[in-house]
Amino acid sequence: MNASGETTSLFGVILAGGVGARFWPLSRAAYPKQVLRLLGTESMLHATIRRILPLIPAERLAVVTNAEQADVIRLDLHHYNLTDIPLWLEPQRKNTAAAVALAACRFYSCSPDACLAVFPADHYIQDEPAFLMGLLQGLRLAHRGYLVTFGIQPTRPETGYGYIKAGEPLDANGTSFQSAAFIEKPDLNRAQAFLQAGSYYWNSGIFLFRLPDILQALQNFLPEIYQKFAQLKDDDTPARLGEIYQDLPDISLDHGIMEKAPNVAVVPLNVGWSDVGSWGALHDLFPQDGRGNVQLGRTIDQGSRDCLFFTQDRLVATLGLDNIIVVDTPDATLVCHRQQAQQVKDLVRMLEEKDCVETKQHLTVERPWGSYTVKDSGPGYKVKQVVVAPGKRLSLQLHNIRAEHWVVVQGTALATVGKQQHRLAANESIYVPPQTAHRLENPGTDPLVIIEVQTGPYLEEDDIVRLEDDFWREVTAAN
């Protein structure tokens, strides 16, 4: 079959439900790793979508995430004009087996003989044409009834990845193999032995299979998941999906199916892959200076070696460091040894136990209409800088508890307060009382910048009743 004929029945699902705690303080619960722009100007989610569009068009793609991250994922798709890609929300995080089962059942209902490719949302691939050729190889194997996984040619004795052992070849060219075993993350001695043997590959977490075959595998090896999702309907409510997820096992596709099924194939890839799993991995993906340092942002260093320096707003100066990671954001700074980069997630867990807001949200928050940045806060008040993009407007909303004072700094604002509209220029202001419908709009061609001073006994973002909205956000009728 030619490439175009092969791919007409190929669907794709992108798994985008993780947080990426190892990338704290840049990654937060409300701003997870998959929407970070770690490697350039595009998010990791968008890079994943763009990479596979030559084989799988947007109308045959879907993104699976959880309800907590829905808004930020939708916002990322909105930024890249990809809002036609459906977003399927899991009510709970139940690992990859449940997410794949959800996607397989949804796609099966519209195309029961199709194939499904599964992609993590946050990986890096350097050689994208070679990657697409590997997917075509996997698609041929899927049509032969194999559950296909993609193994990465190892370049070092890595102890942070699982491995796949290749068995008997499945073609004359030795470009695919029966899977002989899945191996958990090894110690250094075993990893060195795997590298020397040449028949072991890193487990990429990328899969491809026919929908009937993966559903049969679910029925055989994870019947409790299969039986739950067999009841799923396209029009099921979030409450119904919540019932389905309530008692699902928390298990990965690897452990639940790929390690057990007899019809698993592995396609080796040598494509410059990285799971970008930690700040240490990021160090390996950027050019280094003569002392092995990677400097991203406003940094000045003298005498350090093999370090990663990542900064945003502030200047960071370093002196005589060795194998250290420094990540500076406006409200939190991480300093750790490169060998302990994987343990950043343990540090985040400690911060979550202390209910530190720095694990949840950044000071600057993107919105579909622009952004806001918290400048100061204290008992009874909060100060924000609000930037509204040209031609955009916030939702028509009210707050039950807080009041707001708006001062225009730059541009022209069209402010709705109650039933009145006011056109405000720079240095003009307006007061918004509690329980009063209001809206801020930028009618101009330049960004609108205002200072918003919130006052009241409760100032959190959930004190919003949206009456109208130009975007996807839920509208609630006022009481």
Distance CA 243, CA 35 (A): 29
Q: What is the pLDDT of residue 1?
A: 36
> Mutual orientation of helices 95-108 and 211-221 as an angle, nearest 10°?
130
Same domain as 374, residue 316: no
Beta-sheet strands, E only, within 223-332: 264-269, 273-274, 294-296, 299-302, 308-311, 316-319, 324-328
CB 341 within 8 Å of CB 326 = no
Q: Looking at 353, 380, 400, which one is the last position of a domain?
A: 353
| C-alpha separations of 173 from 143, 169, 176, 366 in Å | 18, 8, 8, 49
Q: 214 and 262: one domain?
A: yes
> Which CATH number covers residue 378?
2.60.120.10
Domain end (from 253, 274, 295):
274
Whether residue 473 is contained in a domain is answered as no
Please check whether residue 249 is in contact with residue 94, taking contact to mean a CB–CB distance below 8 angstroms.
yes
Residue 416 has pLDDT above 60, yes or no: yes
Does position 3 have pLDDT exceeding 50, yes or no?
no
Q: Where is the domain boundary, 288, 323, 353?
A: 353
**Gap between the Cα atoms of 104 and 90, Å rounded:** 14
Give tens-digit pLDDT for 250-272: 999 999 999 999 999 999 999 99
Domain presence at residue 213: yes
In the chain, % of residues over pLDDT 70: 97
Question: Would residue 359 count as lying in a domain?
Answer: no
Look at the chain and report how many structural domains it folds into. Answer: 3
Residue-level pLDDT at 45 = 98
Question: Are residues 188 and 264 both part of a single domain?
Answer: yes
Query: Are 289 and 223 in a shared domain?
Result: no
Residues 171 and 257 in one domain: yes
Residue 258 DSSP label:
I
Q: What share of the chain is helix, strand, coil (3-state, %, to 5)?
A: 30, 30, 40
Contact 395, 461 (CB under 8 A): no
What band does 240 get if pLDDT is binned at 50, 70 and 90? confident
Question: Cα 173 to chain center, whole Å?
Answer: 36
Q: Which domain holds residue 424?
A: 364-468
Q: 391 pLDDT band (50/70/90 cuts)?
A: very high
8, pLDDT greater than 90: no
Are 150 and 204 a contacting pair, CB within 8 Å?
Answer: yes
Asked if 305 and 391 sit in the same domain, the reply is no
Whole-number pLDDT of residue 5? 53
Clarify whether residues 324 and 241 are in a common domain.
Answer: no
The pLDDT value recorded for residue 18 is: 87
Give the separation between CA 369 and CA 2, rounded to whole angstroms. Answer: 44
One domain, residues 291 and 197? no
Do the domain assignments include residue 35? yes
pLDDT at 40 over 80: yes
Chain segment 208-229, per-residue pLDDT in tens: 999 999 999 999 999 999 999 9
- Indicate if the pLDDT at residue 27 is higher than 60: yes
Bridge-based pairing of strands 448-455 and 381-388 is antiparallel
Q: How many residues does this entry show for the chain? A: 479
Q: How would residue 4 be classed by pLDDT, with cut points 50, 70 and 90?
A: very low
What's the mean pLDDT when you consider all of the chain? Answer: 94
Answer yes or no: do 235 and 293 share one domain.
no
Which tokens belong to 118? 């599964």
pLDDT at 6: 63
- Is the domain of 348 the same as that of 373? no
Would residue 479 count as lying in a domain? no
Identify the burial level of 17 via C-beta atoms within 10 angstroms of its C-beta, where 0-12 means exposed, 13-18 middle and 19 or more buried: buried
State residue 173's pLDDT score.
85
* Residue 410 in this model has a pLDDT that exceeds 90: yes
Residue 478, domain member (yes or no): no
Q: Tell me the per-residue pLDDT of 441-451, one tens digit each, with 9 for 90 and over.
A: 999 999 999 99
- Residue 236: pLDDT above 80? no
pLDDT at 82: 96
Are 199 and 342 members of one domain? no
In 247-309, alpha helices (H): 253, 279-283
Q: In this structure, are 71 and 136 located in the same domain? A: yes
Q: The whole model's pTM is what?
A: 0.92
Residue 60 lies in a domain: yes
Rounded to whole angstroms, the Cα distance separating 9 from 11 reads: 7
